[in-house]
Amino acid sequence: MPARFCAISKRVATPLRFCRTVRRKCAVETAEIGGHLDAVLSVDAIRLYKPRPEVYALVTERFKIAPGEAVFVSANRWDVMGAAAFGFHTAWINRAHLPAEYEPAPDATLAGLNELIAMAP
């Protein structure tokens, strides 16, 4: 099976000055990477957030895979902890070289996204 790439995201309204409200772009839109992804999975439909296992199940259900067939990548250690507990392989992007606070530990700790290439099979 070819590698699949997706993002788990949310959309929220953010209040601005003068009581105006606008939709904050999800991280995928901000980074302009949507064209490189097979899916953007939104937590809005289930109204639950990481590290709840239902969020990670969006990936396994969408791609019909077992948790051990996925690699979850995040700069947020809390999200990585939840993904590891769900059964995903994990990579923590630790740009600030912070201490690992949560168990289970990530499978890989990387200084930046560029190091992901070395993890590819």
CA–CA separation, 38 and 1 (whole Å): 14
In the chain, where are the structural domains located? 6-119
pLDDT per position as a tens digit, 72-117:
888 889 899 999 999 999 989 898 999 988 888 899 998 887 787 6
Task: Write down the pTM of the prediction.
Answer: 0.76
Q: Which range, of 31-35, 44-48, 70-74, 87-91, averages the lowest pLDDT?
A: 31-35
Pick 6-119's CATH classification: 3.40.50.1000, 3.40.50.620, 3.40.50.720, 3.30.70.100. 3.40.50.1000
Question: pLDDT grade, residue 43 (50/70/90)?
Answer: confident
CA–CA separation, 48 and 62 (whole Å): 17
